[in-house]
Structure 1
Amino acid sequence: MSGKGALSIVPAGVLSGDDTRKLFDYARENKNVTSSSTVNASLEAAKAVNSPIILQISQGGAAFFAGKSVPNGNQEASIAGAVAAAHFIRAVAPSYGIPVVLHTDHCAKKLLPWFDGMLDADEAYYKEHGIPLFSSHMLDLSEEPKEENIKDCVFYFKRMAKMNQWLEMEIGITGGEEDGVDNTSVDNNSLYTQPEDIWDVYSALAAISPNFSIAAGFGNVHGVYKPGNVKLRPELLGKHQAYAAEQLKGEKGEKPLYLVFHGGSGSTKDEIKTAVVNGVVKMNVDTDIQFAYLSGVRDFVLKKADYLKTQVGNPEGPDKPNKKQYDPRVWVREGEKTMVERVKEACIDLGNENRA
């Protein structure tokens, strides 16, 4: 796809079906969103560098989107929040003029009621519009035995394939902690997926639909970490591609796998480049961007501290109002500005500048 923009092959706005797969012929920056503010900042950044983008919402992020006071014992808040976020993104994304993949993050086995609820919403939307509400979903059953992981993915993928929907699955554990999934105590040897395991997944899912990607472990860890504490080996992804290509006798080219890079925050630009060269089509960057958002709000509050202690009265005079400083549209926007810059950087790192 080099030399052409994504809009030459897919439309602007939220994608579905084969258009999602076409977009994954590029490597895509993936941003977790938790609010309309983080959605808008992500879209603003992607538009600024003319890049397609993936917006995803986690189980915890979805519950936050619905409101922290909403009960979530049966995942009702996470279902409602994810559906609300999807409708919001579908409403505003076309205004930014870039292709958007609407995705959901890590669904572990204990969170499957959330997954079921979202698929119910997809099917209802599909019945009315001919496309699912979400572009894609992720099942993270990597803590389960391989056979069970694959079996459950096959079960759900058959349901999703009826809507021509994309599935991301994980085999090989990503260390660290992210919404709903805590692998902080996992042994390092479990962080590296074997080529044979990747092939087993590919064989099972390719029999249903070509619309799937695999998050393979190559030492990944969610969150941030001190240099040297994590041994990322993105070159291993090339071995997965070679093994699959050999099994397919070259029928699908040298890189038949759509691979995903989890735990992208804190990675070096060389590690990112190596991953992309070896077939990564989606990289998750969340922790860095959370901190970027905070940075803008924090710096504003520190700079304007004397204007934020009372509603009236500041260094300019005891009767001077402070509304223009404490209005949420002012300080929330400061967080959006710094987040925009970090998302732009991530898009550029993946080679997506001017590729929309």
Structure 2
Amino acid sequence: MLITGKQMLDIARKNKFSVPAFNAGSGQLLTSVMETAERLNAPFIMAIHPDELAFLKDSFISQVIYEANHSKIPICIHLDHGANMQQVAHAIQLGFTSVMIDSSHQPFEENIRITKEVVKLAHSVGVSVEAELGTIGDTGSSVEGGASEIIYTDPLKAKEFVEETQIDSLAVAIGTSHGIYPKHLVPKLRLDILKEIYKLVAIPLVLHGGSSNADDELAASLDLGIAKINISSDIKICFANKLREMLNGGNNEIREPNVLFPPCMRETQRVAEQKIKLFKADNKASLYYR
């Protein structure tokens, strides 16, 4: 069942769970997370970054739409970190039901101006909009990128931003970074800032850079308005590690995709299941049929 980001996240916020947004940048990853979500009766968001879309080609979105329309679980197709109006418009034309415009690197007023233009376009055709305020860090190991220095989201600015732009969800910066954290870096989420934003902002909040953060901190964020958590690196690195293991196993006759990829996909499913349950999204699909 294909639905919009607003439909997806409003219910999640109300019921205090978070929908996983998996950056499944291949057909194998898509199948892995979809089968896991269906087995756990969980809604999920298929997030695709512009760089991933350029690699996958536009026709891949037709596959995602087909799978969503032939599934009983709620699914949203989301443009992750759209950089400009052209990317957003292209995603809408392809059938994305949610888009993100990321102008967080711009001055506050410019971020508002650009975001308002995207909202006007997207809302006119029933597509939801996510925007970002503050900056997400960058570990240097992800397609999403990020900033070298994290700028935490100002709660009062967040309130003004939401009121001015009329976005459907807001990505907040509370200490996460895209990618896998180096061993010497232990992230600490500023849940105190999130608590203040939650008091002032009435729309669903989004946490980017959800991979490799402490489970207890992610779980605590669910009660503070986080209705969507982005997971990219965690589901990709386990796939890649298993693939390396198989390719380096000494059997040079392993070459068929239907032999090579299934063990890797099972590793991804294991991680996806852990995230879905951690975010309390399992057995929540029924909420969307009321």
Q: What is the TM-score of this pair, normalised by structure 2?
A: 0.89
Give the aligned partner of residue 4 of structure 1. none
**2:156 is matched by which residue type in structure 1?**
E
Q: Alignment partner of 2:191: what SS?
A: coil
**1:30 is matched by which residue type in structure 2?**
A
Give the aligned partner of residue 31 of structure 2. 40
Matched, 1:15 2:3: yes
Would the aligned equivalents of 2:2 and 2:76 in 1 still touch at CA under 8 Å? yes
Unaligned 5+ segments in structure 1 are 1-12, 67-80, 123-132, 245-255, 309-321
Cα distance in 2, alignment partners of residues 293 and 57 from structure 1: 17
Residue 22 of structure 1, CA deviation: 4.4
Cα 1:273/1:17, change in 2 over 3 Å: closer
Would the aligned equivalents of 1:45 and 1:343 in 2 still touch at CA under 8 Å? yes
Cα distance in 2, alignment partners of residues 159 and 285 from structure 1: 27
Give the aligned partner of residue 282 of structure 1. 228
Matched, 1:167 2:129: yes
Residue 269 of structure 1, CA deviation: 1.3
Give the aligned partner of residue 319 of structure 1. none
How many pairs align?
Answer: 279
Residue 97 of structure 1, CA deviation: 2.3
Matched, 1:334 2:263: yes
1:89-114 CA-partner distances (Å, limit 9, x unpaired): 111224442111110101234xx432
Matches for 1:164-203 after TM superposition, within 5 Å: 164-176=126-138, 177=140, 178-179=142-143, 181-183=145-147, 185-186=148-149, 188=150, 190=151, 192-203=152-163
Cα distance in 1, alignment partners of residues 109 and 39 from structure 2: 44
Residue 23 of structure 1, CA deviation: 4.2
Give the aligned partner of residue 113 of structure 2. 151
The match for 1:113 among 83, 86, 99 is 86
Cα distance in 2, alignment partners of residues 180 and 39 from structure 1: 18
Unaligned 5+ segments in structure 2 are 286-290
Residue 333 of structure 1, CA deviation: 1.7
Would the aligned equivalents of 1:168 and 1:212 in 2 still touch at CA under 8 Å? yes
Give the aligned partner of residue 349 of structure 1. 278
1:3-29 CA-partner distances (Å, limit 9, x unpaired): xxxxxxxxxx21137633544434101
**1:219 is matched by which residue type in structure 2?**
G
**1:118 is matched by which residue type in structure 2?**
A
**2:20 is matched by which residue type in structure 1?**
E
Give the aligned partner of residue 137 of structure 1. 99
Give the aligned partner of residue 257 of structure 1. 203
Cα 1:349/1:21, change in 2 over 3 Å: closer
Supply the RMSD in Å over aligned alpha carbons.
Answer: 1.9
**1:179 is matched by which residue type in structure 2?**
V
1:256-289 CA-partner distances (Å, limit 9, x unpaired): 2310011111111111112111000000111111
1:204-256 CA-partner distances (Å, limit 9, x unpaired): 133xxxx6100111011111213654332133211112234xxxxxxxxxxx2
Cα 1:230/1:106, change in 2 over 3 Å: same
Q: Alignment partner of 2:261: what SS?
A: helix
Q: Which ranges of 4 or more aligned residues in structure 1 deviate by more than 4 Å?
A: none
Give the aligned partner of residue 224 of structure 1. 180
